Amino acid sequence: MLTATETADAVRAGRVSARDAVTECVDAIDRSDGKIGAILHVDRDGALRAAGDIDRRLAEGEDIGPIAGVPVAVKDNICTIDSPTTCASGTLKGYVSPFAADVAERLVSAGAVIVAKTNLDEFAMGSSTESSAYFPARNPWDMSRVAGGSSGGSAAAVAARIVPCALGSDTGGSIRQPAAFTGVVGLKPTYGRVSRYGLVAFGSSLDQIGPVTRDVRDAALLLSVIAGHDVRDATSVDRPVPNYVAELDRPIEGLRIGVASDYFGAGLDDAVRTAVEAGLDALRERGAELINVRLPHLKYAIACYYVVATAEASSNLARFDGVHYGHRTADPKDIFDLYSASRREGFGAEVKRRIMLGTFVLSSGYYDAYYDKALRVRTLIRGDFEAAFEKVDLIASPVTPTTAFPIGQKSADPLAMYLADIYTTSANLAGVPAISVPCGLDGDGLPIGMQLSAPWFEEDRLLAAAHQYQSITDHHQRCPKQ
């Protein structure tokens, strides 16, 4: 299957029709996804109609957009009009949104065809896609392993070559971690760079939508399409969107890359450490300068994140009460039973756990001890990044402490699952952009990711460095055996 960039070029040149590109994609889903579980909903007929319309408009000489004819899969917590948006939750089973997310509108306006909605941890709460109410997404490199989460379906679909690209959402690493586990590229933009309108909220001060792709060029292409100001999102920032693709060839000679020992402490798997260090050596050989930096409050990131994120989740998910929409219990005894039974039946164990944690830290007598303190720590973490970026242009780190773990290994141990996000949550707490790029394989042949972070709204610098890394390595060209 062609990459997104290759597909767009081929459709524009008339070598491939949009209908052929979409047909190849939906056929690949039918053929392969039964084993993987990356996809929750497919709109074959709607996608083929949209592709046919694109071919007609191209034949009439119309300039449709930069990704005309490119099939895209969208995480199932991003609202689309013509297919369900369930958040992989029983409480939203069969729900179809009356409006489309800003990113979905931008994709369609740029000529893309949304072919499928991808699997995820329920309401994006998880690190393995095992909390999906339907089925887990499996890692195409080893079907006994997780694909990561919460955007595991998006990453698995791209890694398995059943779609050329996808969108995910990242609240604490939910794009970058599954990208690392499956050997693809995952980008979390700066908070406010991409509109959250139409994204079903988990942690409103943390959530960002971003691309999952096979290479950095595709990530730059998709970001150029979905980024931009949206008046419907109060957190959307009104500033120009660079031509990220045009900036990819920016040389990295003299680029200062920070390496924080705080990211390379106890618990980091030896194979991951070796691969990331080899990636840093490759960047240094290309002309980058490696500089030691400190992020002294990084050790508090997990605790801080799981207070802030659960508090916001508790507030955001209060709307799913069985009254206006979503699952409603049958024959409730009274209004209290309606609320409690509908939520008990509709939500899975992990979502219930996070709602209870969030309600606890926001409750009277505990707000100051937990939530207020977490916000203060968050400010310190942001300050660490501000201080580091006065000395360096980027910061490099592992994405995950290990490679993909077996399905079921951590599902009964929430703390172990939460610790899998140890290297990713800080970027969400600070709001900085970060990308995961493949940098090697472990002894079991499982992918390893390297993370690069940049100052706020410096995605062009981030993407250029990642692209230059991919120009001298071939890790991103490897794919699982079909």
Per-residue model confidence (pLDDT) at position 482 = 66
**What percentage of residues in the chain have a pLDDT greater than 70?**
100
75 is catalytic: yes
pLDDT at residue 354 is higher than 70: yes
Residue 42 · residue 72 · CB < 8 Å: no
- Residue 109 token pair: 């306006």
- The arithmetic mean of pLDDT across residues 71-95, rounded, is 96
Average pLDDT, the chain: 96
**pLDDT one-digit tens code per residue, 193-223:** 999 999 999 999 999 999 999 999 999 999 9
Instruction: Judge whether residue 56 has pLDDT over 90.
Output: yes
Query: pLDDT, tens digit, for every residue of 219-270?
Result: 999 999 999 999 999 999 999 999 999 999 999 999 999 999 989 988 999 9
DSSP E strands in 189-310: the ranges are 208-213, 256-260, 289-293
pLDDT average, residue stretch 394-412: 96
Q: Residue 167 has what pLDDT?
A: 98
User: Half-sphere exposure of 369 toward its Cβ, with a 13 Å CA cutoff?
Assistant: 6
Model confidence at 324, in pLDDT bands (50, 70, 90)?
Answer: confident
Q: In 10 A of CB 440, how many CB atoms?
A: 21
Cβ contacts of 390 within 8 Å, gap of 6 or more:
none
Torsion angle (degrees, nearest 10) of CA 77, 463, 450, 408? 10
Residue 94 — left, alpha, or beta (φ > 0 → left; ψ -120 to 50 → alpha)? Answer: left
Catalytic residue chosen out of the listed positions 174, 224, 342, 397: 174
What is the predicted pLDDT for the residue at 420?
86
Query: Beta strands of 4-130 (E only): which ranges?
Result: 39-42, 71-75, 113-118
CB 187 within 8 A of CB 196: no
Q: What is the mean pLDDT of residues 68-73?
A: 98
Return the pLDDT at 409.
96
**Residue 195: helix, strand or coil by DSSP?**
coil
* Residues 119-167: tens digit of each pLDDT: 999 999 999 999 999 999 999 999 999 999 999 999 999 999 999 999 9
Q: What count of Cα atoms within 13 Å lies in the side-chain half-sphere of residue 57?
A: 17
Amino acid present at 266: A
Among the listed residues 17, 75, 154, 397, the single catalytic one is 75
- The yes-or-no verdict on residue 78 having pLDDT over 90 is yes
Mean pLDDT to the nearest integer, 443-461: 98
What pLDDT is stored for residue 387 in this prediction? 98
Residue 205 annotated among the catalytic residues of the structure: no
CA-wise closest residue to 167 among 131, 118, 200 = 118
In the structure encoding, which two tokens stand for residue 396, read together?
């490099």
- 3-class secondary-structure state, position 449: strand
Using CA atoms of 151, 153, 155, 161 in order, give the dihedral in degrees to the nearest 10: -160
How many angstroms separate the CA atoms of 445 and 441, rounded? Answer: 5
**4-252+456-477 is classed CATH 3.90.1300.10:** yes
Q: What is the pLDDT of residue 326?
A: 87
Q: What is the pLDDT of residues 288-315, one digit of tens each?
A: 999 999 999 999 999 999 999 999 999 9
Cβ contact 395:258 at 8 Å: yes
Based on its alpha-carbon atoms, the radius of gyration of the chain, rounded to whole angstroms, reads 21
The number of C-alpha atoms within 13 Å of 51 and in the hemisphere containing its C-beta is 27
Beta-carbon contacts of residue 85 (< 8 Å; ≥ 6 apart): 76, 77, 78, 79, 92, 95, 96, 97, 117, 200
List 89, 150, 314, 453, catalytic entry: 150
Report, as an integer, the average pLDDT of 101-109: 98
Tell me which residue of 438, 393, 352 sits closest to 178, measured CA to CA: 438
Local confidence band at 440 (pLDDT 50, 70, 90 cut-offs): very high
Catalytic status, residue 150 = yes
Give the mean pLDDT of 85-109.
Answer: 97
In 407-446, beta strands by DSSP E: 434-441
Query: If you write DSSP's letter for every residue of 111-147 in order, what string do you get?
Result: T-EEEEEE--SGGG--SSSTT-SS-PPEETTEEEEE-
What are the domain boundaries of the chain?
A: 4-252+456-477
- As a whole number, mean pLDDT of residues 162-191 equals 98
